[in-house]
Amino acid sequence: MLRRHLLAAPALIVPAAPALAQASRAVCYNCPPEWADWAGALRTIRERLGITMPHDNKNSGQALAALIAERARPVADVVYLGGNFGPRLKAEGLSQPYAPALLDQVPAALRDAENHWFTIHSGTLGLFVNRAALRGRPMPTGWRDLLRPEYRGMAGYLNPTSAAVGQVGMVAVNLALGGSYEDFGPAIQYFRALRANGAQVPTQTAYARVVSGEIPILFDYDFNAMRAQYTDRADCRFVLPAEGTVSFPYIMAMVANAPNPENARRVLDFTLSDEGQRIWANAYLRPVRSGVMSAETASRFLPDSEYARARPIDIPAMVAAQERFVERYRTEVG
């Protein structure tokens, strides 16, 4: 990745091109323009703060691997990750503490106690349903509905051995059906039964397969279902399961020994500002701060009474249990 620098030039001296952008630059790992409207966020950061942030299409795992490889000489200033990566980021010494403005409005369970990472928005796991593809069947209302014969072959979920959303799906079902972070028996029994009922198990994102009707019902986040409904105008809806579910946070952190620390702090402040939070809301992710959405945007989400059935995922507990429950899935469900 090429670096540019922006330093004030002495009179009558034209600085070399590499020296032109440092003062107005920040590098974010894993801020892809097509995800969560990072394109809009990067554009607004440039317009409001005068800070240029190059696009980056890493996923969370790739971002973490790059930070580890570059530990001695970091390239990134900030990083955006799925919440389950937060504890490892800190444990590896790849983050540094920073308390951005308005951090006190982020619930304690959604940020690190020592300010190494904090949530900016979340997604709620449920059923992303293509109504037309149901071919007259009723809309499912919860997890158990999908075990009925009438939904045979109609449901899908991403493979928990390779996809983070698949792992979140296992946690959501397990807790909803009476399990815990120590006991994944209910989830194992459920996914065995779901596989027996013809469930499809893709290994990568299946958004287009739901919109096309190939997979009528997918375990997925509310923001993908809402994107299909409101942006792509597909006959899709989000169902928050009657038995309950979990919400999954997405986090930001300041990279240890960031090359542009002041810019990093300003960017992190922006992510929690009213304007920053509204960008996420307009992309159908629930902002971590309450009361920032416009009435029009809020009307597109399910009512708060529905979201009351979604509990925040316990990040440290999920991280501690993750290897065990994925291995159980691999050996007992397959």
Cβ-proximal residues to 78 (8 Å cutoff; 6+ apart), any chain: 26, 27, 28, 29, 252, 253, 254, 255, 258, 264, 267, 268
- List, for residues 137-148, the tens digit of each pLDDT value: 999 999 999 999
Q: Tell me where in the chain the CATH 3.40.190.10 domain(s) lie.
A: 24-122+248-304, 125-245+309-332
Which option is the CATH number for 125-245+309-332: 3.40.190.10, 2.60.120.260, 3.40.950.10, 2.60.40.10? 3.40.190.10
- List, for residues 61-105, the tens digit of each pLDDT value: 899 999 999 999 999 999 999 998 999 999 999 999 999 999 999
Mean pLDDT of 105-121: 96
pLDDT at 205: 76
**Cα separation of the two ends of the chain:** 40
Residue 72 CB neighbour total at 10 angstroms: 6
- Asked whether the whole model's pTM tops 0.85, one would answer no
pLDDT beyond 60 at 10: no
Task: Provide the pLDDT confidence category of residue 23 given band limits of 50, 70 and 90.
Answer: low
User: In this structure, are residues 181 and 85 in contact, taking their beta carbons and an 8 Å threshold?
Assistant: no
User: In this structure, are residues 306 and 242 in contact, taking their beta carbons and an 8 Å threshold?
Assistant: no
Task: Provide the pLDDT confidence category of residue 270 given band limits of 50, 70 and 90.
Answer: very high
pLDDT beyond 80 at 4: no
Q: What is the mean pLDDT of the chain?
A: 91
Which residue in 250, 281, 223 sits closest to 81, CA to CA? 250
Which CATH superfamily does the domain covering 24-122+248-304 fall into?
Periplasmic binding protein-like II (3.40.190.10)
pLDDT beyond 50 at 295: yes
- List, for residues 250-268, the tens digit of each pLDDT value: 999 999 999 999 999 999 9
pLDDT at 146: 98
Pairing of strands 245-255, 217-221: unpaired
